[in-house]
């Protein structure tokens, strides 16, 4: 079953939106495989956002990510990477479609509440960056046959 890495960024934790956002993923049928509250170090932020190094927003983004607590999650389920990206919505909160997390809760480009892996390859790399294997829990939700279907 596919896994994806989700980060609820410091704005999400400060704004007490963690419960509302985790609720959406649970409602969709994705399963929690890992969850922890992290005070992100500059080093971890640099590794996570390495692809954006050199871009005009890079320094500001790193400062934002280390500015407060981040809730890191691993979610698992059918097409978890794409499903989570659809639920999250476009990067710019002002342009994200209503009904998406950013569309409903964010107005900023940088402070857009949430990160979701953008490919299965990146998801595997990001899950390994943020979680030790023993921090991930495998179980079969009792309603799996209803959620996964035929
Ligand atoms: P994504 O989070 O939708 O995948 P990316 O392009 O990968 O978006 O950018 C990573 C993060 O960097 C965004 O979520 C946002 O916080 C920030 N960011 C992206 N573009 C800008 C920008 O133009 N100005 C300020 N911050 C940005
Ligand atoms: Mg991205």
User: What are the domain boundaries of the chain?
Assistant: 2-133
- The position carrying tokens 């704004």 is 15
The residue whose CA is least distant from atom 16 of ligand 1 is 110
69-77 sheet: strands from edge to edge: 31-39, 69-77, 2-8, 114-116
Helix axes 80-88, 18-28, angle to 10 degrees: 130
Q: How confident is the model at residue 1 (pLDDT cuts 50, 70, 90)?
A: confident
Percentage of the residues of the chain whose pLDDT score is greater than 70: 99
The residue whose CA is least distant from atom 27 of ligand 1 is 110
**Mean of the pLDDT values across residues 114-132?**
98
Of ligand 1's listed atoms, the one at least distance from the Cα of 9 is 16
Residue 71: C-alpha distances to residues 11, 36, 60, 131, 141 (Å): 11, 6, 19, 12, 22
**Mean of the pLDDT values across residues 42-70?**
98
Pick from 65, 64, 7: which is nearest to 37 by CA?
A: 7
**Mean of the pLDDT values across residues 4-21?**
98
- How remote is the CA of residue 125 from the centroid of ligand 1, in Å? 19
**Mean of the pLDDT values across residues 37-50?**
98
Specify whether 115 is catalytic: yes
**Mean of the pLDDT values across residues 75-85?**
97
How does the average pLDDT of the chain come out, rounded? 97
Pick from 17, 3, 14: which is nearest to 102 by CA?
A: 17
- How remote is the CA of residue 83 from the centroid of ligand 1, in Å? 19
Residue 120 has pLDDT above 80, yes or no: yes
The residue whose CA is least distant from atom 6 of ligand 1 is 91
Answering whether pTM is above 0.95, one says yes
Mutate to test the pocket of ligand 1, among 106, 109, 117 (most ligand atoms within 8 A of CB): 109
Q: Which CATH superfamily is domain 2-133 in?
A: Nucleoside diphosphate kinase-like domain (3.30.70.141)
Contact predicate 43/50, CB 8 Å: no
What stretch of H or E contains 66? none
Q: Which residue has the higher pLDDT, 150 or 71?
A: 71
Residue 50 has pLDDT above 80, yes or no: yes
Percentage of the residues of the chain whose pLDDT score is greater than 90: 97
- Bridge partners, 76 (sequence order): 3, 31
**Mean of the pLDDT values across residues 54-63?**
98
Residue 150 has pLDDT above 80, yes or no: no
Q: How confident is the model at residue 80 (pLDDT cuts 50, 70, 90)?
A: very high
């Amino acid at each position: 079953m596919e896994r994806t890495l989700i980060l609820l960024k410091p704005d999400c934790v400060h704004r007490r939106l963690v419960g509302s956002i985790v609720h959406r993923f649970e409602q969709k049928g994705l399963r929690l495989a890992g969850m922890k509250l992290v005070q992100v170090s500059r080093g971890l932020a640099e590794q996570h956002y390495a692809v954006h190094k050199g871009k005009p927003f890079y320094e500001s983004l790193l400062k934002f990510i280390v500015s407060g607590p981040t809730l890191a999650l691993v979610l698992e389920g059918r097409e978890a990477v794409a499903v989570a990206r659809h639920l999250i919505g476009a990067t710019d909160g002002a342009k994200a479609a209503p009904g998406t997390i950013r569309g409903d809760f964010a107005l900023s480009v940088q402070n857009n509440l949430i990160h979701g892996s953008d490919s299965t390859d990146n998801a595997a790399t990001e899950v390994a960056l943020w979680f030790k294997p023993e921090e991930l829990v495998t179980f079969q939700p009792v309603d799996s046959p209803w959620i996964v279907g035929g």
